[in-house]
Chain A
Amino acid sequence: DTGVSQDPRHKITKRGQNVTFRCDPISEHNRLYWYRQTLGQGPEFLTYFQNEAQLEKSRLLSDRFSAERPKGSFSTLEIQRTEQGDSAMYLCASSSGQGTFGTQYFGPGTRLLVL
């Protein structure tokens, strides 16, 4: 068990550019979550996958955001036409969804800065 990994750890982009982040969950975890965290705030839920199916999306997830988990393993989060307000830490978590609900294990996050 190598834990949840995220790539890249840091990303600086210019407003209007597209960015894509990757998350590799703990192997055999069928649930995967994306959160966003701004300075001084707790993480905010964005979306959740069970295997390859995206089951929940927050109203925070505008049309510029899209997430995929094509084979039920790794996931990508894409932000199109980035805005300065998108600057945040993007966190990924995974869980097995079995036994007692629902301990989520978090990755180190991808810090995005939009100039």
Chain B
Amino acid sequence: DAKTTQPNSMESNEEEPVHLPCNHSTISGTDYIHWYRQLPSQGPEYVIHGLTSNVNNRMASLAIAEDRKSSTLILHRATLRDAAVYYCIHSNTGNQFYFGTGTSLTVIP
């Protein structure tokens, strides 16, 4: 299994940046790193993905370590709507994703 390690929970104040870490020491050279988030009673929602270079989109930024064994999802200004469980996944085939238990993010008003 392509396992990742994430903190169980994190807190952030509203309007402040949040850095969500992930360790993926078993990643192979062709694995993409994907981040998803899941709100209660909803399916996971795609956030961002990358291979080697740091990536930015309208939702977040993804910083990938040079050895690719870890990555960090960056939410630049946390809002209450960002409160969710965040999952980090790596996959080389895109066929099956192995979700861990993710990081539950609490945003404090």
**Interface residues of A, Cβ cutoff 8 Å to B:** 4, 31, 33, 35, 40-45, 48, 55-56, 58, 91, 93, 95, 97, 100-109, 111
Contact = CB atoms under 8 A, between A and B. Distances in A.
Given A42-B99, A42-B102, A102 B93 contact: yes
Contacts, number: 65
A102 B94 contact: yes
A58 B101 CA distance: 18
Interface in B83-106: 85, 87, 91-102
Nearest to A50: B95
Given A55-B95, A56-B96, A40 B44 contact: no
Contacts of A55: 95
A39 B60 CA distance: 27
B43 A41 contact: no
